[in-house]
Amino acid sequence: MPTCWLVSEDESHKPIQLLHYNTHILGRGPETKIKDQKCSRQQVQLRADCNRGFVSVKQLGANPTSVDDVAVGKGNQVTLKAGQKLYMVNRLYAYSVLFREDSTSSDAAPEKHRPTKRPRQRDVQEEEDPSPARKVSMSSHAERKSNGSAQAENSTPTPEKESAGHWSQGLKVSMQDPKMQVYKDDRVVVIKDKYPKARYHWLVLPRESISSLKVLRSEHVDLLKHMQTVGRSMVQQCPPSSKLGVRLGYHAIPSMSHVHLHVISQDFDSPCLKNKKHWNSFTTRYFIDSDEVITMLERDGRVSVKEGTSELLKLPLRCHVCHEEQATIPKLKEHLKIHLSS
């Protein structure tokens, strides 16, 4: 099995070995030589998957930890891969991660510039299953502990899916790919969801790096209003005969760390909608309307998510039109045809 090492970019201390699937808590202290009081003694939680070639990074401290240019956010989790930089706090104290084949002793620390085999990355987009927290064992989040995320998935996504700043990096790749773009201006980019949960499903993404709803503040109101305007313009692409309309909104506990506005038709006619979590993430209060998010920012200066929101993903399957309960997704989809044809 390969070994994993966290390497200080300024070589202030020896590389720290991250044992496979072990939890490591790092921050200010003798192990990192960091003395900065803004760095908590328990700043980050790291967990390496040596076989798949990535490290799950969860921010524990109050001040921001970053992976490349993406702030993680307290309580959030992202994925660190070879070639990316982990900044312990406030864009300071840079680290890289090295994976190497254990051809010698596991106690032998690698040299800083030892060549490393970089895992193949894919361009990943929407989550397979928006559960409230990253799921470490799930590849699409190596944190199958449903902190609610589906970083979310329900099917075991590949490690590539959970990579890139927990999808935030994957989204950025998609944003820069002309083949993915359906609209762009100087503030936002619109792409089609790779795993659409309806006939029409777009994501409106700000060019500004914003990790999650938690970090949104009053100064972001104008940007979110612009995202909403752009999203509404996408609705014009839906045929007038579209029976059930379109909603614009955000997942309360998104699986990706880069803020994204969903523009989704309410037919939910898609093979990618496979399970209860998919359904409930768009048809319960887990899905917050764009207008409501903007109102919260204007009124409170922040977005509030009620405790227990992640439990909404476990609710019974109910039709979003007539609220009749259905036993399975296939039966629910069959039931929806009644509303689509009426």
| Active-site amino acid positions | 260
Please check whether residue 284 is in contact with residue 208, taking contact to mean a CB–CB distance below 8 angstroms.
no
Specify the pairing of strand 325-326 against strand 317-318. antiparallel
- DSSP code string of 173-232: HHHH-TTTEEEE-SSEEEEE-SS-SSSSEEEEEESS----GGG--GGGHHHHHHHHHHHH
Cα–Cα separations (whole angstroms), residue 178 to 174, 181, 182, 183, 225: 8, 5, 8, 10, 24
Question: Helices 276-283 and 329-341 meet at what angle, rounded to 10?
Answer: 40
Provide CB contacts within 8 A for 261, sequence distance 6+.
203, 204, 205, 224, 227, 228, 231, 248, 249, 250, 290
Placement of tokens 């995320």 in the chain: 149
Structure tokens at 279: 């359904």
Cα–Cα separations (whole angstroms), residue 181 to 184, 194, 203, 288: 7, 12, 10, 24
The C-alpha atoms of residue 272 and residue 196 are separated, in whole angstroms, by 6
- Nearest alpha carbon to residue 99 among 87, 88, 89, 84: 84
The C-alpha atoms of residue 44 and residue 324 are separated, in whole angstroms, by 45
Please check whether residue 136 is in contact with residue 150, taking contact to mean a CB–CB distance below 8 angstroms.
no
* Residue 240 Ramachandran class (φ > 0 left, ψ -120 to 50 alpha, else beta): alpha
CA 251 to chain centre: 11
Count the residues in the chain.
342
∠ Cα 268 271 275 (to 5°): 75
